[in-house]
Structure 1
Amino acid sequence: MMDVDEALTSPRPSFRAAFGSSLLLTIFLTHHLLNGFGGGLVFQAMDFTYRGLKVDGPTLQVLTAVARLPFSMKALMGLVSDGFPICGRRKAPYLFIATVAAVAAFLFLGFASTPSTQSTTGCLFAIFFQMALADLLVEAKYSEKVKTMPERGPELLTFVSCGVSVLNLISTICAGALLQNYGTRICYLLALPMAALLLWPVACNHLEEERIPGSRRFGPDLQNWRGKGFIPFMLALASGLAALILLVCSLLIKSVTINFLVALSLGMLNLALLSSFLRPVIAKINAFYFLQSIFHIGTHGAAFYFFTDTEESYRDGPHFSYQFYVTGMGCVAAGCSLLGAGCYNLLAKKWTYRSMLMSTSLAYALANGLSVIAYKRVNIKYGIPDAGFMLASSAMQTVLGQLAWMPMTVMLAQLVPQGLESVMYALLSASLSLGFAVANYGGALVLSLLGVTPNGAVHEDAKFENLWIAALLSACGPCVPLFLVRILIPEGRQTDRLLELDAGSATAGSLFERMCGRVDEMGDQMEYQHAEEELTELTWVRSALQSSSLGREPSLDASRETRGQLSAEKFSLAATS
C-alpha cells in the first residue's frame, strides 16, 4: 500500500532525467546523425551508384539487399561483442573497428575513379555494418531503460523515430540537388563525418560500459552463455551464419531463382529455430513480423527506373528529375514520417496491439495499392499529373507505414529478457531484417519472371508493362499474416509489460522445453499462481492510478471489490499470458 501511495505522490521525472544525458546524446549521434543524416545520404545515392554501373532492376534489388545484410547479422554481432571482449570492453572496441572500416569505405566511394560492382557492394556493406552495429549496441542499452519504465517506452521510441525522421528530411533536401549537380561521390563524402563522429561516444564511454574485472580482458568470455544464455547463444550463432551464407551465395551465384531459394530456405530455418527455442510470447511475435516482412516483396529496383528513366529510355514514363525524385518525394516521405510518429504518440500509443496492427496494416495496403494506378498510367488518362499523384500517395503510405511500424519497435524493446539484452535484441531485429532481405530476393525473382528488367537503356518501354502486377502483389502480401493476429499477437495495450513472468529467461515454456518435459504440471500451476497474484496487484494499481487521474481518492474497499469481481477471470488471464 505504501509503495502505491509513493507512486501516486512522487513527481514524474523529466525525460532527460529518466533516461540520462549520455544515453540521449549517444542516440543522437548513432540514430539521428549516423543513421538519419548519413544513412539518408547513402541510401539516396546507392541506387544512382548502381545505375551508373548499368545494373538492371532485379539485380539492383539483390545488390542492395546484400549491402544491407549487416542488419540481418546483428545476432552474430551481439554474440561476438558479448562473448569476446577486447581490453576488458565488450562494445567500444568493436564500434571503433567498425567505424574505422566505414570511414575507409566512404573514402573509397568518394574518390575511386572506376569502382566495380563488387567493390562498391563491399564498401556499402562496411558502411551499413557500422550502422547496424551502432544500432544494436545502443538499442540494447535503451531497452534496459524501457523495461524498467514501460510507461515511458512510447516517449523514448518517439524521440528516436522523430530524430531519425528530422535528420533524414535534412539529408533528403540536400541529396537531390547534390545528385543532380555533382553526382553520387559528394553524398558519400558528406556522410563521412557522421560516421567518424561515433568515435566520440566510444572514447567517452557514453554507453556506460564497465571494464571486465580480473585478467580476462582478451579472448572468450562465455560465462553469459551458460545456463539460461546457452540457447540464445546458439540461436545467435545460427542467425549470423545464415546471413553469412546468404552473403557468400549472393556474391558467387548469379541466378536470381537460386538466390531466392537459398534466402527463403535460410529464412524459414531461422524462423523454425526461433519458434522452437524461444518462450511462446517472443516466438509468436517474431513469427508474425517475419511472415509479414517476407510477404511484402520488393519492387523498388524496377520502380526506380520507372520514375527516373529519360524520355529516350521510356517514352510514356513520368521522367522525374533526380532532384524531384529524391528531394521532392523524399521530403514528403520524411515529413510525413515525422507526422506519423507524432500521431502515434498523441492518439494511438494506448491502443491494443491487435487493433493497431489490423487497422494500420489494412490502410497501408490500400495506400500501397495506389502505385498500381501510376504503373498502369491510369492517372494520366484522367488528367492527374504524375508529380501530384505520387506526392499524395507517398504521403499516405509514409504516415500509415510509420503508424504500423511504431508498435513493433515498442514490442521489440519489451521482449528483451533481463541480462540478455544485446543478443536477444540482435536476434529479434536480425530476424526481421532477414525477412526483408528474403522479400527483396523474392521481389527480384517476381520482376525477372514478369520481364520487368529495366537498366536505363534506350527504348525499354516494354519492360514496364507488367510492373503493376508486381506492385499489386507487394501491396496485398502483408495482409496475409493478419489472419494470424489473434494467435500470434498479445491482446494487451502498448503500455503493458509483455514479460511479467521469469523476465530474465528467453526460453521459459518454449516448445523445446515442453517437448523435453521440462515444464511439468506442478511448475505450470506455480507459474499461473504467481501470475494470478501479479495480475491482481497490477489491476489494483492501475485502478488506483486511474482514480487519481480523475481527481478521486483511490479506495481500498473498491479495490477489494474489484479483486472479487476478477477472481473468476484471473487464472485464465494468467494462462493466456
Structure 2
Amino acid sequence: MGSSSGWKSNTPRNRMRKIVLGLGFLVQGLRCLPWMAVNFFLKDGLKVDPSTLQLLLVSANLPMVAKPIYGLLSDSFYIAGQRRIPYIAIGAFLQAVSWIVIACFSPSNISFYMITLYLLLGNLGASIVEVANDAIVAEAGKQTPTSSKDSQSSSSGELQSFVWMASSIGGVLGNLLGGIAIDQVSPRAMFFLFGIILAIQFFITVTIHESSLNLPKTPSNVGVRKQLSELLVALRKPEIAHSITWFAVSYAIIPALTGTMFFYQTQYLEIDSSVLGISKVFGQVAMLIWGVMYNQHLKFVPAKKLISAIQFVMAVFMVSDVLFVKGIYRRMGIPDSLYVVVFSGFLEVLCFFKILPFSVLVAQLCPPGCEGSLMAFLTSAIALAFIMSGYLGVALASRIGVTENDFSGLSTGLLIQAACTLLPLYWSSCIPDEPKTKRKEQ
C-alpha cells in the first residue's frame, strides 16, 4: 500500500516532520512561562492598573493580525531553496532576542513603552513561527495513504491532534515550571530561560533541511500576486468565508475580563501566585486531554455540533464565575483556591477547544497551494477577534466601574460576558457540518 505518502508512515522523513512540528509546537506552548511572569512584572514591578495591564497584553498581539502577510511570503518566496524551515528559524531568532533583551532590564530601567515594543517583537517572531508550522500541518494533513475522504479526514485530524498535544504538553510544563518559579526567582530569570530555549530551537532548526520533511512538491517562486489571487479565490467560497467570519465573531463579541480577574484573584482574594500556576497547569492538562479525546472519539463528529456545544459550556462557566464572585461557593465550603485551580483554569482554556475541530475543517476546505496563507488568515482573524474582545473588556470594566480596588460591579460584567457568549449560537448554521466536496463524493 502506498503508505510512504501518508504522514502516519514511519519513514525517516515523516519522523523528521514530527520532530520539527513537535519541537515547534512544544516551544510555542512553553510561551506561557514568560507570559505568566509578564503579568507579575507589570503588576508588581511597573505598578500598572488592571485596564493598563490588559491593554498592553492585548496590544502586544497586534503582530498576529498580520499573519496573512507572513503566510503569503511563506507560500510565495523560497529562502535557500526552502519555503517553511527558514521562516521558523527567523521567528525563533526574533523571539530569543526579544526575551533576552527584556531580561537585561530591571523594572526601574525599562519603561512601559519599551517593554511593549519588545513584546511586539517577540510576538512578531511567534506569529511567523506559527504561520510556518500551521502551513506544514495543513500540507502534510492532505497526504493520505488512500484517496478516501474519510481517510483524509482521519489523517488530518490525527496530525492536528499530534501538534495540539505537543503544544499542550509545552503549556503544562511551562505553567508548572512558572507556578513553581514565580515565588523562587525573578520574572527576568524566567524571561532569560525562555530566551535560551528559543535560541536552542533556532540552532536546531537551521541544521534541518526542508527536503527531509516529505512535504508536497510545489512550484517555486510563485509570486505574491498569484498567491494572493489564490487566497482571494479560496475566501470567496461561501463555506470558507462564512465559517471564518462566524468563528472570529464568536470570539470578538465576548468582552474579556482577563486583567480584572487577575487583579481580583491576586490582589482582592490574595490568592498565592503558585495557585495561579497550578490553575494554568490544570487548564493545559485539560487541553491535552481534549486533544486525545478529539483524536480518539470526536474527529468524525460534525464541527458545528462540537463548536456549538463548547460555546454553550463557556457561557455556563461564566455564570459559575458570577456565583464565585458573589461568594456562594465559599459559603458552600469550597475554598477560593480550589475554585481558581479547577474552574478558572478550565474556563481559561475552554475557548481554545473550538480551534481544534475548526482548524481540521478549514484544512479540509483549503484548496491546494494556499495552505500557508489561508491558515494564516484564519489565525489572524482569531488574533484580531481576541484583540477586539480585550478592548471590549476594558471598555466594559470601565463602564461598570471596576478598578484595582473596587470589584463590586464584576458580577454584572460576568453576566454580560455570558450573554454575549450565547449570541453566536443563533448563527451557528454558518458552519458546515462537513465539506461540500465530501458530500458530493458521497
* 2:147 counterpart of 1:156: no
Percent identity (aligned): 22
Supply the distance in 2 between the matched residues of 1:14 and 1:418 (Cα, whole angstroms): 17
* 2:432 counterpart of 1:490: yes
Counterpart for residue 281 of structure 2: 331
The one-letter amino acid paired with 2:422 is C
Query: Cα deviations across residues 188-214 of structure 1 (Å, max 9, x unaligned)?
Result: 11111221113322332247599xxxx
Counterpart for residue 208 of structure 2: 204
5+ residue gaps, structure 2: 145-151, 215-219
Counterpart for residue 422 of structure 2: 479
* 2:124 counterpart of 1:129: yes
Counterpart for residue 351 of structure 1: 301
Secondary structure, counterpart of 1:163 in structure 2: helix
The one-letter amino acid paired with 2:202 is L
Counterpart for residue 562 of structure 1: none
Secondary structure, counterpart of 1:145 in structure 2: helix
Supply the distance in 2 between the matched residues of 1:207 and 1:479 (Cα, whole angstroms): 46
* 2:31 counterpart of 1:30: no
Supply the distance in 1 between the matched residues of 2:266 and 2:20 (Cα, whole angstroms): 37
**What aligned pairs does 1:534-573 form with structure 2 within 5 A after superposition?**
535=440, 538-539=441-442
**What aligned pairs does 1:63-462 form with structure 2 within 5 A after superposition?**
63-83=56-76, 85-87=78-80, 89-113=82-106, 114-149=109-144, 150=152, 151-196=154-199, 197-206=201-210, 223=223, 225-226=225-226, 229-231=227-229, 278-309=236-267, 317-326=268-277, 328-394=278-344, 396-397=346-347, 400-401=350-351, 403-454=353-404, 460=405
The one-letter amino acid paired with 2:223 is Q
How many equivalent residue pairs?
424
Gap change, CA 1:165 and 1:129, over 3 Å in 2 = same
Deviation at 1:402, TM superposition (A): 5.4
Gap change, CA 1:299 and 1:141, over 3 Å in 2 = same
Deviation at 1:413, TM superposition (A): 2.2
Supply the distance in 2 between the matched residues of 1:49 and 1:189 (Cα, whole angstroms): 14
Query: Cα deviations across residues 411-439 of structure 1 (Å, max 9, x unaligned)?
Result: 23223221112211111211111111111
Gap change, CA 1:308 and 1:207, over 3 Å in 2 = farther
Deviation at 1:16, TM superposition (A): 4.8
8 Å CA contact retained: 1:339, 1:399: no
Query: Cα deviations across residues 543-568 of structure 1 (Å, max 9, x unaligned)?
Result: xxxxxxxxxxxxxxxxxxxxxxxxxx
Supply the distance in 1 between the matched residues of 2:62 and 2:212 (Cα, whole angstroms): 28
Query: Cα deviations across residues 448-474 of structure 1 (Å, max 9, x unaligned)?
Result: 1222131xxxxx2xx211112222222
Counterpart for residue 149 of structure 2: none
Counterpart for residue 35 of structure 2: 43
Gap change, CA 1:447 and 1:343, over 3 Å in 2 = same
Supply the distance in 2 between the matched residues of 1:62 and 1:352 (Cα, whole angstroms): 36
8 Å CA contact retained: 1:106, 1:123: yes
8 Å CA contact retained: 2:276, 2:341: no
Gap change, CA 1:125 and 1:339, over 3 Å in 2 = same
Secondary structure, counterpart of 1:20 in structure 2: helix
8 Å CA contact retained: 1:299, 1:443: yes
Supply the distance in 1 between the matched residues of 2:165 and 2:424 (Cα, whole angstroms): 28
Supply the distance in 1 between the matched residues of 2:92 and 2:6 (Cα, whole angstroms): 35
TM-score by length of 1: 0.68
8 Å CA contact retained: 1:73, 1:430: yes
8 Å CA contact retained: 1:340, 1:399: no
Supply the distance in 2 between the matched residues of 1:132 and 1:56 (Cα, whole angstroms): 27
Deviation at 1:101, TM superposition (A): 2.8
* 2:18 counterpart of 1:20: no
Counterpart for residue 510 of structure 1: none
Secondary structure, counterpart of 2:166 in structure 1: helix
Gap change, CA 1:98 and 1:466, over 3 Å in 2 = same
5+ residue gaps, structure 1: 1-5, 211-216, 236-273, 310-316, 455-459, 493-497, 502-530, 540-577
Secondary structure, counterpart of 2:223 in structure 1: helix
The one-letter amino acid paired with 1:156 is L
Secondary structure, counterpart of 2:21 in structure 1: helix
Deviation at 1:81, TM superposition (A): 3.8
Query: Cα deviations across residues 505-555 of structure 1 (Å, max 9, x unaligned)?
Result: xxxxxxxxxxxxxxxxxxxxxxxxxx8xxx3xx43xxxxxxxxxxxxxxxx
Deviation at 1:284, TM superposition (A): 0.8
Gap change, CA 1:165 and 1:99, over 3 Å in 2 = closer
Supply the distance in 2 between the matched residues of 1:476 and 1:140 (Cα, whole angstroms): 35
Supply the distance in 1 between the matched residues of 2:88 and 2:380 (Cα, whole angstroms): 18
8 Å CA contact retained: 1:95, 1:134: yes
- Higher relative contact order (CA closer than 8 Å, sequence separation 6+): 2
8 Å CA contact retained: 2:103, 2:188: yes
8 Å CA contact retained: 1:23, 1:207: no
Gap change, CA 1:194 and 1:28, over 3 Å in 2 = farther
Secondary structure, counterpart of 2:168 in structure 1: helix
The one-letter amino acid paired with 2:316 is L
Supply the distance in 2 between the matched residues of 1:91 and 1:346 (Cα, whole angstroms): 29
The one-letter amino acid paired with 1:45 is A
Deviation at 1:475, TM superposition (A): 2.6
Gap change, CA 1:55 and 1:207, over 3 Å in 2 = farther
The one-letter amino acid paired with 1:167 is G
Secondary structure, counterpart of 1:351 in structure 2: coil
Deviation at 1:445, TM superposition (A): 0.9
The one-letter amino acid paired with 1:111 is C
* 2:426 counterpart of 1:468: no
Gap change, CA 1:382 and 1:24, over 3 Å in 2 = same
Secondary structure, counterpart of 1:373 in structure 2: helix
The one-letter amino acid paired with 2:8 is F
Deviation at 1:480, TM superposition (A): 0.8
The one-letter amino acid paired with 2:115 is T
8 Å CA contact retained: 2:50, 2:263: yes
The one-letter amino acid paired with 1:117 is F
8 Å CA contact retained: 1:416, 1:424: yes
